[in-house]
């Protein structure tokens, strides 16, 4: 009896060992299979993702090659007949000829160019809605609460033009150069009046920039427009101002005003004998009332490059140069990267200048 029980116990022990071995083997195979499945699944996902990226890149490339397949629209956030509009319309015609599609100029003025600019910022990034805008687009963030960010929500295509302001004084002031004027003003803080064509306009902020960089203290007298600003200076109501070169230069030639410098980094072809403010001793001073071409952010790089190439080619043609020369403006034609860097720099600069001057937007 005991022998039979011993035999039975031995048999059960052997079966238990075999079951444990079988279980361990099955467990090992199961874990191995899971690992393989996980690896294969990860590989499949990575492969699929790579294929998707390649397909997207290919589709974008094909779309760019087929661009444009329909008419384009250039939004001008100012009234018809304004300085930006006068550049956008002949440019649109040249782009249409180059691209083989009609290019329509759509004026959307209002709220200091905010309405039209916001329309483009929120448009689809397909290259069919563009923006022709003035330099004020980089000033607005420091003055107003905007529904868009010009650096984040817009893609730079090219700075098209540059228009300098002219630093002019009343002839009664006993100075003939920028350095002399700065010394004269520093000796008379808040005793000299400077005019502008309105609060937060380019003629206002270009003077605030000079004040910020030199420490001079002047009293601001805003007027409703450039002509009134110049007339006030001629009449002696103010002693100095920045005016667009096309507005002030005729009066300089007749001797009713005296030009001290141009605001841009380079001398103006309209007044080649007038030095720049930077070369007159205010290092790095540079203000330009430019016009630029932009698109919605995330517009494909290939489309931006195509638009840049055609816009630069167009703005540098002899007939476009002749159109710009009427207002003493000059063609530029920068790369997207250069124009984007300029916008970013100006937004940051105006934030500092406006804060220091305590300017509030109307």
Backbone angles phi, psi at 169, to 5 degrees: -130, 165
- In DSSP terms, 161 is beta-bridged to 291, 331
Question: What are the tens digits of pLDDT across the range 209-264?
Answer: 999 999 999 999 999 999 999 999 999 999 999 999 999 999 999 999 999 999 99
Q: Is the pLDDT of residue 24 over 70?
A: no
User: CA nearest 303: which of 143, 114, 125, 118?
Assistant: 125
Q: Which domains does the chain have, with CATH numbers?
A: 72-163+289-357 (3.40.190.150), 165-262 (3.40.190.10)
21 burial level (CB within 10 Å; 0-12, 13-18, 19+)? exposed
Residue-by-residue DSSP string for 43-70: HHHHHHHHHHHHHHHHHHHHHHHH--SS
Predicted structure pTM score:
0.81
Question: What are the tens digits of pLDDT across the range 158-199?
Answer: 999 999 999 999 999 999 999 999 999 999 999 999 999 999
- Distance (Å, rounded) from C-alpha 24 to C-alpha 275? 90
Q: What is the pLDDT of residue 58?
A: 47
Residue-by-residue DSSP string for 281-310: T-TT------EEEEEETT--HHHHHHHHHH
pLDDT band at 1 (very low <50, low <70, confident <90, very high): very low
* Pick from 38-52, 68-82, 116-130, 183-197: least confident: 38-52
Share the mean pLDDT of the chain: 89
Q: What is the pLDDT of residue 361?
A: 77
Q: Is the pLDDT of residue 46 over 80?
A: no
Tokens of 39: 């690896």
Give the sign of the dihedral formed by CA 217, CA 219, CA 222, CA 223: negative
Question: What are the tens digits of pLDDT across the range 336-346?
Answer: 999 999 999 99
Q: What is the pLDDT of residue 338?
A: 98
């Amino acid at each position: 009896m005991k022998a039979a029980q011993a035999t039975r116990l031995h048999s059960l022990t052997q079966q238990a060992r075999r079951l444990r071995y079988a279980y361990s083997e099955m467990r090992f195979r199961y874990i191995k299979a899971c690992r393989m499945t996980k690896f294969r699944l990860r590989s499949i996902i990575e492969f699929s993702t790579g294929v998707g990226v390649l397909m997207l890149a290919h589709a974008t490339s094909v779309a760019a090659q087929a661009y444009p397949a329909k008419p384009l629209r250039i939004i001008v956030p100012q009234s018809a007949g304004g300085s930006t509009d006068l550049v956008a319309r002949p440019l649109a015609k040249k782009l249409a000829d180059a691209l083989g599609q009609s290019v329509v100029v759509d004026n959307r003025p209002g709220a200091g160019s905010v309405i039209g600019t916001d329309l483009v910022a929120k448009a689809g990034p397909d290259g069919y809605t563009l923006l022709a805008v003035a330099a004020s687009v980089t000033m607005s963030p420091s003055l107003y609460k905007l529904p868009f960010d010009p650096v984040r929500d817009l893609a730079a295509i090219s700075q098209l033009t540059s228009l300098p302001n002219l630093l002019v004084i009343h002839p009664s002031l006993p100075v003939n150069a920028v350095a002399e004027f700065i010394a004269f003003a520093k000796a008379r803080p808040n005793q000299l009046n400077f005019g502008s064509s309105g609060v937060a306009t380019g003629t206002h902020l270009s003077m605030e920039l000079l004040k910020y960089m030199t420490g001079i203290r002047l009293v601001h007298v805003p007027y409703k427009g450039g002509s009134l600003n110049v007339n006030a200076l001629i009449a002696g109501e103010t002693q100095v101002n920045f005016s667009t070169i096309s507005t002030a230069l005729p009066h300089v030639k007749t001797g009713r005003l005296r030009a001290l410098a141009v605001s841009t980094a380079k001398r103006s072809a309209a007044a080649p004998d007038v030095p720049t403010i930077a070369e007159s001793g205010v290092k790095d001073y540079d203000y330009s009332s430019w016009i630029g071409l932009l698109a919605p952010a995330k517009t494909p790089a290939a489309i931006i490059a195509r638009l840049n190439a055609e816009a630069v080619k167009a703005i540098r043609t002899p007939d476009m140069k002749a159109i710009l020369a009427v207002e003493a403006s000059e063609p530029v034609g920068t790369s997207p990267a250069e124009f984007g860097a300029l916008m970013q720099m100006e937004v940051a600069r105006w934030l500092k200048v406006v804060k220091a001057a305590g300017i509030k937007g109307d």
